[in-house]
Amino acid sequence: MPDLLKKAYELLVGSEPDAISVPTISLPKKSRPFRKLTTRELIQLESEIGATLFGEIPKGHHRQFFNLDRSTWIWYEEWSDHLNKKRSTTTRYEIHPNGILKVQEGARYNFIEGDELKNFLVATRLYYERVAREIYKRDPATGQSLV
C-alpha cells in the first residue's frame, strides 16, 4: 500500500519522492459490528417478509417470495406430502410491457389477470412498503431515512 500511495502522490504532485516528503497514512483497523450484507443475505431477509404476505405459512411448509431484479419475482414453496416426501414448486413472475407472465415448471406460461393480477399487485406493493421500512429503514413513499 505505501508504494501505491507513493506512486499516486508522484502522479499528482509531479515531483520525485526524495524532493518532497510523502505523508504517511495509517488507517485504523475497522471494527465491523454491522458489516455490509451480501445481495444473497438481503434477498433472504426480504424473502422472510415476502413469505408472510399471503397469510399464515402452514406447519411443515417453507415459503419464499421476493423480488429478484427489476422485472422478476419469485414464489417458492416447499413441503412434505402425506408420504413424507419433499415437494416444492417455484413460480417466476416476469414483468413485461404487456403484462405479468407467470412461469411454472410443467405448466403453460400465461399472463396473469383478474383476481390473481390484483393479488399480485397488492402483494408487491406491501412487499415494497414493508421491506423499505423494516430492512432498509426508509420511507417507501419518499425514500427518506427513518432513522
Domain map (residue ranges) of the chain: 1-29, 39-134
As a whole number of angstroms, the distance between CA 110 and CA 101 comes to 6
Note the pTM of the prediction, 2 decimals. Answer: 0.71
Handedness of CA 132, 111, 109, 58 (dihedral sign): positive
For 37-62, what is the mean pLDDT?
Answer: 91
pLDDT at 16 over 70: no
Q: What does the pLDDT average to over 99-121? A: 95
Report the share of the chain in percent with pLDDT over 70: 76
